[in-house]
Structure 1
Amino acid sequence: MSAIEIAGIHKSFGQTKVLRDISLSIRSGEFVAVLGPSGCGKTTLLRTLAGFEKLDGGEIHVDGRLLSGKEVHLSPEERNIGVVFQNYALWPHMSIEQNVSYSLKVKGMSRPDRTRRTREVLELVGLDTLSTRRPADLSGGQRQRVALARCLAMQAGVVLLDEPLANLDVHLRATLEEEFSRFHRRSGATMFYITHDQSEALALADRVAVMDKGRIAQFATPSTLYLEPTNEMVAGFIGEGKLMDVSNLTPGNDGRAHAHLFGQPIRLRCAEDARARSEARISFHPSDLSLADAGVGIPATVKRITYRGDHLRAEVAPDPAPDISLTLNVMPPFCIEQGQHVSIALNDGWVLPDPHFA
């Protein structure tokens, strides 16, 4: 197991700054996901850690060993880091067994030891009966397991995964998510997982780094990102988050606050050091809204309904601000239709930190 320390790194391509002063401290054996919109720099971050890109500034240490820094750049093969690419990067002319054992041969391991180690890891990922096949004869999920077996064989202290499920269908993704969790438990490796899929990141990782425009917007546990975002970017990006303005914010001493939304009193969660102010920004999710009894809550008009199987997704426009669209989930029995006048209640929400005092 290996700890990773990324300290103030920068990377540009020409005049384009791709990574801007990124610092991350990752514990040994931790599963960290990096999440963000396309073009935010997450794959470049992985490539600097793997050694495929040189830094313009800052340092990267793994287990206290300097891998990248001023006048220092260890090659990928010197880093003892395993990489699972989106396209798996398997040798098409080699058998599965040969693909797994090749890196061991490069490291100078004897043939008997290579054979033993390769058989062990193929059995662990359930491919021992397919060892003589070539990659073209395997399914996408099986090829992904070959890539994982290769990392297990190397006994890499750090494993980097670059959007490894992007090319798979939704049902196979669920199966492979569990495969990654088992791989993490078996290997004890420090996992660094790049993805654009929030459900993957939140389900798999111990902590998630959300990137935006080459910077780390927030680095926290999945529940903290969802419930307590530190800025508007994270609040709007995670879990269909919605941002709204409230007035007359009055924090208490218990991590709760009172405010008004569209003139209606609401109760919110807030940081312990939150300050009273006349206006504030809050975030919430569709699950935080519900239908209320007539005359209670915020009056609204139903604009659109989408059937989602076990619930309806309703888009409503608050009567005090008809240009705003809010989304809520309606559970059965269904008693709502398009054009209907309803009342909605906000049952939970988070007061974003005041940027002037951040």
Structure 2
Amino acid sequence: MSDIRIDAISKSFGPTQVLKDVSLAIEAGEFVAVLGPSGCGKTTLLRCLAGFERLDGGAIAIGGEAVSTPRAHVPPESRGIGVVFQNYALWPHMSVAQNVAYGLKIAGIPRAERTKRVSRVLDLVALGPLANRRPADLSGGQRQRVALARCLAMESRVVLLDEPLANLDVHLRGALEEEFAAFHARSGATMFYITHDQAEALALADRVAVMNAGRILQFDRPQALFSQPASETVAGFIGEGRVLEAEDIRPLGNGRAAASLMGQTVELRCAPGERARGRAKISFHPGDLHLTETQGIAANITRATYRGAYLRAEVMAGPGGHVPLSVNIAAPASLTRGQRITLALRDGWVIPDAAA
């Protein structure tokens, strides 16, 4: 296992700066996901870590060894890194066993040791009986496991995964998520997982870095990203988050604050150092709103859709009926378009003041 230190790195392609002072400290054996929209720079970050791109500024160290600076660059094959690509990158003319063994052969590992390692890792990913098949004879999930086995056979101290589930159907993606988690537990490798799918990131990673426009916006545990976003951008990106402006923020102590939202007094979570403010942005999710028979926020239903375990209602809320919100109502429920309802906010978060 090896830790990773990414220190204020930058990377440009022509006049376009793709990475802007990106820093991450990843512990040995940790599973980290980098999450962000297309074009945010996450794949470039992975390529810099793998050694496929040279840095314009900053430094990268793996296991305490500097591998990238603007003046010094350790080549990819000397970094002890395994990469699982979105398209698997398997040799079509080789069998499963030959694909897994190829890197070992290039590295000069003796034949007996190669055979032993290949057999062991194929059993670990449940592909032992398919060792003599070609990639064309495998399912997408099986090909992905071959790519994982190849990393495991090389005893890579760091494994990089570049949107490995993007080409798979939803059922197979769920199965492969479990496989990645099991792979991490078995190998103990430090894993760096690139994705634009927040469900994958939140389900798999110990910590998630949310990236946008070449910068890391927040690096935190999945639960913290969901319930305590550090900025309005993160709040709106994670879990269908909704951001509204509240007034008269009054800290109550113990991480709680009172505020006025659409004319109603609400109690919210806040950072320990939160101060009184006239206005602040707050975040919450559709599941944080619920129907109430008492005083609350007036709303008018514009659309209701059945989602199995709950009913999703789209509403226009507030005194003027101009604030769009989404509400999850537990089944069984019956709501119709045009119906007037009253909502209460059971949980929310005061987004910290960046200026403070």
**Where on the TM-score scale, by shorter chain, does this alignment land: which range?**
over 0.9
The residue number in structure 1 matching 2:354 is 355
The residue number in structure 2 matching 1:96 is 96
Map 1:145-224 → 2, pairs under 5 A:
145-224=145-224
- Would you say 1:133 and 2:133 are equivalent positions? yes
The residue number in structure 1 matching 2:341 is 342
Task: State the Cα deviation string for residues 117-154 of structure 1 (Å, max 9, x = none).
Answer: 10110111111111111101100000000000000000
Q: State the distance in 2 between where 1:356 and 1:58 align.
A: 26
The residue number in structure 1 matching 2:121 is 121
The residue number in structure 2 matching 1:280 is 280
Which amino acid is 2:331 matched to? P
Q: State the distance in 1 between where 2:225 and 2:125 align.
A: 32
Contact 2:262 2:318 in 1 (8 A): no
Contact 2:289 2:343 in 1 (8 A): yes
Classify the secondary structure of the residue corresponding to 2:323: coil
Q: State the distance in 2 between where 1:82 and 1:312 align.
A: 44
The residue number in structure 2 matching 1:5 is 5
Which amino acid is 1:30 matched to? E
Q: State the distance in 1 between where 2:70 and 2:334 align.
A: 65
CA displacement at 1:355 relative to structure 2: 2.2
Q: State the distance in 2 between where 1:172 and 1:132 align.
A: 23
Q: State the distance in 2 between where 1:2 and 1:290 align.
A: 46
Q: State the distance in 2 between where 1:25 and 1:245 align.
A: 33
Q: State the distance in 1 between where 2:252 and 2:306 align.
A: 40
Which amino acid is 2:155 matched to? Q
CA displacement at 1:319 relative to structure 2: 4.1
Task: State the Cα deviation string for residues 91-116 of structure 1 (Å, max 9, x = none).
Answer: 11111110000000011011111111
Contact 2:310 2:332 in 1 (8 A): no
Which amino acid is 1:320 matched to? P
CA displacement at 1:309 relative to structure 2: 1.1
Contact 2:88 2:147 in 1 (8 A): yes
- Root-mean-square deviation (CA, aligned residues, Å) is 0.8
Which amino acid is 1:326 matched to? L
Contact 2:151 2:159 in 1 (8 A): yes
The residue number in structure 2 matching 1:64 is 64
Contact 1:270 1:352 in 2 (8 A): yes
Classify the secondary structure of the residue corresponding to 2:253: coil
Task: State the Cα deviation string for residues 26-74 of structure 1 (Å, max 9, x = none).
Answer: 0000000000011100000000000000000100000111100131111
Classify the secondary structure of the residue corresponding to 1:72: coil
Q: State the distance in 2 between where 1:116 and 1:278 align.
A: 67
The residue number in structure 2 matching 1:317 is 316
Classify the secondary structure of the residue corresponding to 1:305: strand
Contact 2:80 2:156 in 1 (8 A): yes
- Would you say 1:327 and 2:326 are equivalent positions? yes
CA displacement at 1:253 relative to structure 2: 1.6
TM-score, normalised via structure 2 length: 0.99
Q: State the distance in 2 between where 1:273 and 1:327 align.
A: 30
- Would you say 1:22 and 2:38 are equivalent positions? no
Structure 2 residue runs of 5 or longer lacking an equivalent are none
- Would you say 1:41 and 2:13 are equivalent positions? no
Map 1:73-88 → 2, pairs under 5 A:
73-88=73-88
TM-score, normalised via structure 1 length: 0.98
CA displacement at 1:267 relative to structure 2: 0.3
Q: State the distance in 2 between where 1:321 and 1:249 align.
A: 22
Classify the secondary structure of the residue corresponding to 1:252: strand
The residue number in structure 1 matching 2:231 is 231
Classify the secondary structure of the residue corresponding to 2:287: helix
Aligned residues: 356
Q: State the distance in 1 between where 2:354 and 2:79 align.
A: 40
Which amino acid is 1:322 matched to? G
Q: State the distance in 2 between where 1:44 and 1:322 align.
A: 44
Which amino acid is 1:97 matched to? A
- Would you say 1:302 and 2:306 are equivalent positions? no
Q: Are the structure 2 counterparts of residues 306 and 153 from structure 1 closer, same or farther at C-alpha, using a change threshold of 3 Å?
A: same
Contact 1:301 1:319 in 2 (8 A): no
Which amino acid is 1:122 matched to? L
Classify the secondary structure of the residue corresponding to 2:355: helix
Q: State the distance in 2 between where 1:306 and 1:352 align.
A: 30
